[in-house]
Chains A and B, each alone.
Chain A
Amino acid sequence: MAGLKKKSHGGTWGVLAEFESPAAVYHAAEQVRDAGYSKWDVYAPIPIHGMDEAMGLKGSKMAWIVGTFAAMGASGGFLLQWWTSAVAYPIVVNDKPFGAWEQFTPVTFELGVLFAGISAVFGMLAINGLPRWNHPLFSSERFLSASDDGFFIGIESKDAKFNSDATSKLLEKAGGFNIEMVEDQ
């Protein structure tokens, strides 16, 4: 699919519309959701409260990723300590049993946290498709205000329901202005 998109839609990435306020983009998102689009997104300088519902998104998968890595870090950390202390290099310290688990607690905990923390940041970037060095949207001069005080909705031409006229009209009816076609690169 990815290889086809360039030519099949005449080099259009999609349509971008600007909105006045968080409330305006919130209600417009509800309309785009109800119209049945799937490949679209809301662009805003802040994570607008309640937008996941307005867009009809499911919950984030982050907790599963972080939980899995935390378990891997903690169990791997425990195994590392047990293997080095009881198998590979047993040394007598205070006459304690070589494999006594109690003294492994701090490092087990720390490694669980370390893996969880690394996966939380890099996992977040990975499922968001980042890092990426450019994006068709950055060719729109108006779009740069999404990082300041602009609120946008962009609908991709890859969407099955995409039709440049009908989609633009929908966004205009929902209160969008400065509606523009964004070229694919």
Chain B
Amino acid sequence: MSTVHPDELTSKRLAGQEPEPQLGAEMHGALGDGTLVVDPAVRPPLVLGNRDLHSVTETICGWAENKPGKWWTPAFLTANGLAAVGTLMILYLITTGVGVWGLNNPVGWGWAIVNFVWWVGIGHAGTLISAILCIFKQKWRTSINRFAEAMTIFAVICAGMFPGIHVGRVWFAWFMFPIPNSNAIWPNFRSPLLWDVFAVGTYFTVSLLFWYMGMIPDIATLRDRAFKRLHASSGMGKVQVAIGKVRAYAYGALAMGWRFNFRAWQNYEKSYILLAGIATPLVLSVHSVVSFDFAVSIIPGWHTTIFPPYFVAGAIFSGFAMVLTLLIPARELYPGMKDFVTQRTLENMCKIITVTGSMVGFAYGMEFFIAWYSASSYEQQAFIIRAMGPYWWAYFIMITCNVISPQVFWFKWARTTPWFIFIVSIVVNIGMWFERFVIVTTLSADFLPSSWGYYSPTYVDVLTFVGSLGVFMTFFLLFCRFLPMLAISEVKNVMPAADPHHPAGGAH
């Protein structure tokens, strides 16, 4: 690292008194892939491997066009099997009743709500990466945003399943929406549960549209390549030609006739930034509204004003962990992905995990302080029981996984070693599931000790949750198989070769 102040160094470089930095040369050669630059005045490259625009297209489209590795089919079948088990459990629930779950009085909300909040929270990272980091012009996000947005959509699908089957008589689920009916009954708009329907519904719709719009140019790239292949298909068998046709027409329909003209790009870019602008308050509002499900009630331990920010921080925390859980194996399994998802990207994500994990830790401490400061014996008792009552073990897991584990990323080795990041990301996911569990089981000890009761899940609860993991992975593996996993045009756009004012882009 240079001893000169970075600002001074930059201004000298701009004035031509200092030579321009050689990318990757200023860092200690042996460390990482060349993006872990120590000097803050040096911008590390976003795409490695001396790639031109064509090689970016080849690599990213190749993942969707070529046969996947041998791992894909077993992974897909496993995910499918788990999803099938979950579906059977849901069928059993619908035909029998919610009594097949471990719910009791006073714990009327159990694993279903824990899973709902956990899944919605996981979704938040995708929107944060695609919207908030877009507004802050964090260019490193371009290599992971498509991936993370896909994760958001599938996580919200899994989340939405749980309240839907929790209502008991699922055939009345349409009552959640303001649909005119012959009884002239309307939903109660003063209930946070109804706010939740609108918040999660809007979140899903806008995330899906954002994801799809971002994919239109990339699907058009796949379409053009599919047609080119079809034109050159002289040596192919009938079946291959038929498959090729299906591919070409499916991509063609999804690409909407996009033809890369700048007049369209101009509206597209404007639309993209507007969507990022509205998705930013949206993502902050969704988990706030989810937290209102708890905070607007008058249960001790739930009725707190810290819930909205605390839920949002926890959501981003768990979401980034889930992105890393999926990204690190994908980086190993897909050839060439490491050129786009650099070690710098992983390092940045680890830093966000440490920040949000610390915020969550602060919130845990603040909850206790306010309980004491409120002088309400019910509130104090709720927190003492939370940490030292029958669910002390869940509280202990939560603190270990959420507050202590993310602090390892203060060490450079920890945040630059992919296999270690992978382990921590799973630990964080477990911790965040237990956070939701700890909050929900606060119900087990409410006001009167005579009504207290211990809650344990049944096998149906457990297998439904496992099934939701299977649904999530099934969708995700299909996405990896057929759709552009990285945002091709956005990745190209942050490369020097795309800049008309850069020598690599043809400027003199």
Q: Is the beta-carbon distance between A93 and B190 smaller than 8 angstroms?
A: yes
Q: Is the beta-carbon distance between A60 and B221 smaller than 8 angstroms?
A: no
Identify the closest chain B residue to A57 (Cβ): B266
Q: Is the beta-carbon distance between A148 and B54 smaller than 8 angstroms?
A: yes
Count chain A CB atoms within 10 A of each CB in B210, B256, B265 and give the residue with the most: B265
The bracket for how many chain A residues form the interface is: 35 or more
B217 contacts the other chain (CB 8 A): yes
Complex alpha-carbon distance, A94 and B188, angstroms: 12
B233 contacts the other chain (CB 8 A): no
Q: Is the beta-carbon distance between B220 and A147 smaller than 8 angstroms?
A: yes
Count chain A CB atoms within 10 A of each CB in B185, B257, B258, B285 and give the residue with the most: B257
B33 → chain A, closest Cβ, in Å? 24
Complex alpha-carbon distance, A127 and B268, angstroms: 10
B264 interface neighbour in A63, A123, A128, A141, Cβ under 8 Å:
A128
Identify the closest chain B residue to A58 (Cβ): B266
Which residues of A sit under 8 angstroms from B477, Cβ to Cβ? Answer: none
B199 contacts the other chain (CB 8 A): yes
Which residues of A sit under 8 angstroms from B267, Cβ to Cβ? Answer: 60-62, 124, 127-128
B489 contacts the other chain (CB 8 A): yes
B410 → chain A, closest Cβ, in Å? 37
Known contacts: A22-B506, A43-B260. The answer to whether A107 contacts B274 by CB under 8 A is no
Complex alpha-carbon distance, A121 and B213, angstroms: 7
Known contacts: A43-B260, A89-B184, A144-B224. The answer to whether A120 contacts B53 by CB under 8 A is no
Q: Is the beta-carbon distance between A93 and B199 smaller than 8 angstroms?
A: no
Q: Is the beta-carbon distance between A116 and B52 smaller than 8 angstroms?
A: no
B230 → chain A, closest Cβ, in Å? 11
Q: Is the beta-carbon distance between B262 and A43 smaller than 8 angstroms?
A: yes
Which residues of A sit under 8 angstroms from B209, Cβ to Cβ? Answer: 117-118, 120-121
Q: Is the beta-carbon distance between B54 and A111 smaller than 8 angstroms?
A: no
Choose the segment among B18-26, B339-347, B389-397, B491-499 that binds chain A (4+ C-beta atoms closer than 8 Å). Answer: B491-499
Complex alpha-carbon distance, A117 and B131, angstroms: 13
Q: Is the beta-carbon distance between B184 and A120 smaller than 8 angstroms?
A: no
B198 interface neighbour in A21, A51, A106, A137, Cβ under 8 Å:
A106
Which residues of A sit under 8 angstroms from B195, Cβ to Cβ? Answer: 106-107, 110
Which residues of B sit under 8 angstroms from A44, Cβ to Cβ? Answer: 260, 262, 265
Complex alpha-carbon distance, A55 and B262, angstroms: 9
Complex alpha-carbon distance, A137 and B213, angstroms: 22
Majority secondary structure of chain A interface residues (helix, strand, loop or mixed): helix
Q: Is the beta-carbon distance between B505 and A114 smaller than 8 angstroms?
A: no
Which residues of B sit under 8 angstroms from A174, Cβ to Cβ? Answer: none
Q: Is the beta-carbon distance between B189 and A107 smaller than 8 angstroms?
A: yes
Q: Is the beta-carbon distance between B221 and A45 smaller than 8 angstroms?
A: yes
Complex alpha-carbon distance, A147 and B251, angstroms: 13
Complex alpha-carbon distance, A102 and B252, angstroms: 47
| Cβ proximity bits B190-201 to A, threshold 8 Å, 1 near / 0 not | 111011001101
Q: Can you show 20 pairs from A to B with CB atoms below 8 A apart?
A: A22-B497, A25-B500, A43-B259, A43-B260, A50-B501, A62-B267, A62-B271, A84-B189, A85-B189, A93-B188, A106-B285, A111-B202, A116-B278, A117-B210, A120-B278, A138-B259, A145-B224, A147-B217, A147-B260, A154-B261
Q: Which residues of A contact B (CB under 8 A)?
A: 20-26, 41-52, 55, 57, 59-63, 66, 70, 80-81, 84-85, 88-89, 91, 93-94, 96, 100, 103-104, 106-107, 109-111, 113-114, 116-118, 120-121, 123-125, 127-128, 130-135, 137-138, 141, 144-149, 154
Q: Which residues of B contact A (CB under 8 A)?
A: 52-54, 57, 178, 184-192, 194-195, 198-199, 201-202, 205-206, 209-210, 212-213, 217, 220-221, 223-225, 227-228, 231, 252, 256-271, 274-275, 278-279, 281-282, 285, 289, 292, 488-489, 492-493, 497-501, 505-508
